[in-house]
Structure 1
Amino acid sequence: MIINTGQRTDIPAFYPKWLANRFKEQVVCVRNPFNKEQVSRYRLSPETVDVVGFCSKNPAPFFEYMDLVKEYGQYWFVTITPYGRDIEPHVPDKHKILEDFRTLSTMVGINSIGWRYDPILVNERYTVEYHLKAFEQMAAALSGYTQTVVISFIDLYEKVKRNYPQARAVSREDKHYLGKEIIKIAKTYGMVVKPCGEGQFLSEYGADCSGCMTIATYEKAIGQKLIVPNKKPARKECACYLSGDIGAYDSCGHLCRYCYANNDIEAVKRNMKLNDPNSPFLIGNYNETDVIHDVEMKSYIDNQLSFF
């Protein structure tokens, strides 16, 4: 089984104690975001959870609890972008995150961590030239600590348009030029660029367009072959294998302007206050009307084949 922590919120950054308690108690409950009374309950046993996928802009708050997940396969994506507080109002200092990335890499290993430089947006302040300079500085700082960097260009979802009305789509010309130059820089520092949900157009410049959070990514991280059930992608452009997300929408305190997971800032504030580190739910607790579904948990590892 694969458990994902990061498509709906940043759990390591804002809820590290809650996450630690979930691994201690080996149980977590998740509300269906479209039907609140429908609850999926997962048993977090190392015997059945093969990989835990983490996505964070600030992994350091969870460092003190890393021993709790040492028996689990792990893959971490850490997002580090060049934006200031006008775009990412509550993301910590980027120099600190670069340092924390290196620390995390030494904990989990180079095959279990990737850098996300996304989404890329272009405006008067964050120009094409600005991005290339910032990307090279960051790539130099992370050289030897990861072999993967994921990029994508801003998607103008309705939530994004509402929360960041000044946002503009990146032009085709800028996408090609930025992609080509970023791929060159990344190669210099020992990294492969993996575009996220961008189709195949960057493959001609040397990008790996097979997806970012794929089964192959997980297999390389844990050194095991996985046999997984067929699963439809979240969107047609996405090749990632996303399952068992234990997060909740409208609960990420970074409040990035481009975020697709936060719909209502006031709801974020309310939900963050409702987090109880001892509850099996990220937000709130059991309700009398809940319909609990215990998810069938089994290992996907192919014991006939291991990678060395």
Structure 2
Amino acid sequence: MQIISASRRTDIPAFYGEWFMNRIREGYFIFKNPYNAKQMSKVSLRPEDVTAIVFWTKNPAPFMKYLDELQDRGYRFYFQYTLNGYGKEMEPFLPSVEKRIKTFKKLSEKIGKEKVIWRYDLVIFSNVHSSDYHREKFSYILNELKDFTTRVVISFVDEYRKATINFKKLKEEGIEIYQPPDVIVKSLAYFMAKKASDTGLEIQSCAENIAYLPEAGIVPGRCIDADYIERIFKLNLPKKLHLKDKSQRQECGCVVSKDVGIYDTCLHGCKYCYAGSYEAGKKNYEKHDPTSPILIGKYEGDKEERTLF
């Protein structure tokens, strides 16, 4: 048994739902090591081999039509749904925040509010996005979603290599990302924690080591969370499924999972993206075949293939 992540590296529900369901029906996918393209392995997606599926998305609307089939086939799943509403200047190809709020509510009503986790992620400070901006936006979305989820996850921007390249492009467009004084971040964190608490939502941080977050009431989170899976699906998982994923950052609390995605394949074009560029995503999408066992390109087998069934 293992947990499937779909996916940290790309938005499977938004762009690759047909492919994913074909993999579900055939019972496996081919995993390509993101750091060694020649290293591939065959991973089971049979219901008896999958503890749960964690979907990561900013727009699950195209995937909604498959949810009944997933449930009928016996799969357990929940969604990490990012909804921060930056607008076209930062998220040029996403539906409006109002449309995504409606989708969030529809998804929650269909599968249960405990299975749709709201991510206000990333918290970015710029000459356009001040602390007051985040207070207003967070409050607005929280008020809309408070009856449709049980948990909100926040994280503050880090300067990953790919994101730093995107930040330089943003600066050329007149949006300058900056790190505000610690007192500003702390004040915003306390504000978010208080607002969440007042509406009965649990609030967690994602891969943060900021010392004052716990004292504000924001506990370190696990987006792929064995304890949470046990709770919402009434399971008793073996100890090995509770182990921290050592391939993730030290600050990340997620447990071990197998990710189905590939970097540089998302088409949302978010200007702050950690996982690749829109241009690379378009090029790779042209190679996508919904009938292939691998997300991008054809698969003809590999001498290094390792079967994990």
Structure 1-normalised TM-score? 0.91
Which shifted more, 127-136 or 168-177? 168-177
Q: What amino acid maps onto 1:122 in structure 2?
A: F
Identify which of 252, 275, 279 aligns with 2:292.
279
CA distance in 2 between partners of 1:55 and 1:256 (Å)? 15
State the 1:267 CA deviation.
2.3
Q: Deviations over 1:142-174 (max 9, x none)?
A: 111111000000111111111122332343222
5+ residue gaps, structure 2: 172-176
* Partner secondary structure for residue 50 of structure 2: coil
RMSD between aligned residues? 1.6
1:224 aligns with 2:238: no
1:247 aligns with 2:261: yes
The number of aligned residues is 295
Q: Deviations over 1:206-264 (max 9, x none)?
A: 122243332112222312121142342501111112410000000000121111110x4
Structure 2 residue aligned with 1:142: 145
Structure 1 residue aligned with 2:179: 169
Q: What amino acid maps onto 1:60 in structure 2?
A: A
Structure 2 residue aligned with 1:85: 88
* Partner secondary structure for residue 95 of structure 1: helix
CA contact (8 A) 1:4 1:242 kept: no
* Partner secondary structure for residue 139 of structure 1: helix
1:267 aligns with 2:290: no
Structure 1 residue aligned with 2:222: 211
CA contact (8 A) 1:121 1:170 kept: no
Q: Deviations over 1:56-82 (max 9, x none)?
A: 000010011112221111121100012
Query: Post-superposition, which runs of at least 4 consecutive aligned residues in structure 1 deviate over 3 A?
Result: 287-290
Q: Deviations over 1:34-61 (max 9, x none)?
A: 1112112112111110100001000010
1:185 aligns with 2:195: yes
Structure with more of its chain in helix, by fraction: 2
Q: Which residues of 2 match residues 37-186 of structure 1 at below 5 A?
A: 37-70=38-71, 71-165=74-168, 166=171, 167-186=177-196
CA distance in 2 between partners of 1:126 and 1:290 (Å)? 50
Cα gap change, 1:287 to 1:266, in 2 (>3 Å): farther
State the 1:100 CA deviation.
0.8
The percent identity for this pair of structures is 35
Which shifted more, 164-173 or 70-79? 164-173
CA contact (8 A) 1:279 1:285 kept: yes
State the 1:23 CA deviation.
1.2
* Partner secondary structure for residue 62 of structure 2: helix
CA contact (8 A) 2:264 2:280 kept: yes
CA distance in 1 between partners of 2:181 and 2:257 (Å)? 32
Structure 2 residue aligned with 1:301: none
CA distance in 1 between partners of 2:20 and 2:182 (Å)? 41
CA contact (8 A) 2:87 2:96 kept: no
Cα gap change, 1:136 to 1:271, in 2 (>3 Å): same
Structure 1 residue aligned with 2:174: none
CA distance in 2 between partners of 1:228 and 1:261 (Å)? 30
* Partner secondary structure for residue 193 of structure 1: strand
